[in-house]
Amino acid sequence: RTVVAGGTVVTPATTEPADVLVEDGVVVAVVAPGGAGPAWAGAERIDAAGLLVLPGGVDVHTHLDAVFRGTVRTADDFETGTAAAVAGGTTTIVDFCRPEAGEPLAAALAGWRERAAAQRPWADYGAHVILVQPDAAALDELDALPGLGVSSIKMYMAYPGRMMSDDGAILRAMQRAAELGLLVLVHAENGHAIDVLVDEALAAGHVEPEWHGRTRPPLTEAEAVHRAATLARMAGARLYVVHVSSAAALAEVERARSAGAAVHAETCSHYLVLDESMLEGRPRELAAGLVCSPPARSASDRERLWQALADGGLEVLSSDHCPFALHGQKIVDEDFTHIMNGLPGVEQRLLIAYQGVAEGRYPLERMVEAVSARPAELAGLAPRKGAIRAGADADLVLLDPAARTVFSARTHHSAADYLPYEGMAVAGAVRRVLLRGRTVVADGELVSDGRSGRYLPRTPAPAAAHPQLEEIGETR
């Protein structure tokens, strides 16, 4: 039994002084300060005076121990990646299981779980299942996902020849997902259009890292969001647009919603603090270290994303943690098409979100909703994860609002050899983190025996019959 005493407890609804009573890894009650009663007199006491007590962060978009382009494995596996996560206040991640071509889904997921468990993660973890151009047999296999504790699939409109699915495959998968209550995550960039722009840039001799972004303009993202949302409406599926990076793409999300579509959307921490000007005139290596897809956009896009996080247009803030070491993995010395896409950031996400509170961009409750509560709900992890309430896992972050943190690769826990946010100072510091009642971070550092992360089965939403032709015909 543990009492987290004297802190200020934050939920999406309230911020108030309270004590959190924990037993067997679960929150038993949230009571007025000092209100635990005599039965708790002998319990372990964690002093949270002067600290904010937040629900553990839930990051539903990470790529750990993942191989890209057939050969390059991300710098972090489940050990280092989740060490970074908990050090930064994130106690739950949802990563990705990508079956090999022709590999049965159940076998792929069993293998994924075995590998992840063998790396003894610091955080609890689940998996979205990635589909690449699924055939009829692969679609039939989706029926097994709810029983395996998987409530979401992911598809790509980008990366032709590697990850991309065509519109027919996406629509068919969405139809099946609707019937099964699965959430459909989509990486929305028009891969074929980008390839044309890339060919033109290379033909004109443009090889520098900033051309990665210039050949993926916001229109290539907005068009794909529009198409994904349109296909989701035809299928009656719930869509989750990952890593919305531009005002143009966000406008398509909002348009689809006002037409009645079930479209959810996240942005990622890097789009809130980086912008395209940071790649200009930089040494090639520094610029290459900022290459991700979609790319960092303009300063005005960045402002629009903050605004949408505040007003709920963007519901979730994820990291899309996908780290490659600058030396040996990221590939900085060839033309921009060889640079591996992706950035580290799982450790910085929560404090980047808190910096938004410090800057008055949104209230603390809204931040907690975007980094914990809403992602847990959408990923099928509520009511167990994402909130401080009786019955939920006692995943708690004690954040010191009076402190500051300076991000650096010298002190971070990712195995990446650099950080896009090197030297950046933000408000707040993560002091202590509890995973299911157990302290895994104390005084800002990992405790030695803290690796106790578990696989999280997730619950799909209720099934929906997909719209009949007549209904689709009536949709405006």
**Contacting residues toward ligand URP, per CB under 6 A:** 63, 187, 292-293, 320, 322, 341-342
Return the number of the residue (63 or 374) whose C-beta is nearest ligand URP.
Answer: 63
Q: At its nearest, how many Å lie between ligand URP and the CB of residue 156?
A: 7
Among 187, 304, 330, 349, binds Zn ion (CB under 5 A): 187
Q: At its nearest, how many Å lie between ligand URP and the CB of residue 434?
A: 30
Residue 347 binds Zn ion (CB under 5 A): no
- The residue sitting closest to Zn ion, measured at its beta carbon, is 187
> Which of ligand URP, Zn ion, none interacts with 341 (beta carbon under 5 to 8 A by kind)?
ligand URP
Return the number of the residue (91 or 341) whose C-beta is nearest ligand URP.
Answer: 341
Q: At its nearest, how many Å lie between ligand URP and the CB of residue 321?
A: 9
Return the number of the residue (99 or 342) whose C-beta is nearest ligand URP.
Answer: 342
3-state secondary structure the chain: CEEEEEEEEECCCCEEEEEEEEECCEEEEEECCCCCCHHHCCCEEEECCCCEEEECEEECCECCCCEECCCEECCCCHHHHHHHHHHCCEEEEEEEECCCCCCCHHHHHHHHHHHHHHCCCCCEEEEEEECCCCCHHHHHHHHHCHHHCCCEEEEECCCCCCCECCHHHHHHHHHHHHHHCCEEEEECCCHHHHHHHHHHHHHCCCCCCHHHHHCCCHHHHHHHHHHHHHHHHHHCCEEEECCCCCHHHHHHHHHHHHCCCCEEEEEEHHHHHCCHHHHCCCCHHHHHCCCCCCCCCCHHHHHHHHHHHHHCCCCEEECCECCCCCCCCCCCCCCHHHCCCCECCCCCHHHHHHHHHHCCCCCHHHHHHHHHHHHHHHCCCCCCCCCCCCCCECCEEEEEEEEEEECCCCCCCCCCCCCCCCCCEEEEEEEEEEECCEEEEECCEECCCCCCCCECCCCCCCCCCCCCHHHHHHCC
Return the number of the residue (68 or 336) whose C-beta is nearest Zn ion.
Answer: 68
> Which of Zn ion, ligand URP, none interacts with 238 (beta carbon under 5 to 8 A by kind)?
none
Among 95, 210, 320, 347, binds Zn ion (CB under 5 A): 320
Return the number of the residue (178 or 185) whose C-beta is nearest ligand URP.
Answer: 185
Return the number of the residue (40 or 68) whose C-beta is nearest Zn ion.
Answer: 68
Which region among 29-37, 212-220, 224-232, 312-320 touches Zn ion (by CB under 5 A)?
312-320
Would you tell me which residues interact with Zn ion (CB under 5 A)?
Answer: 187, 320
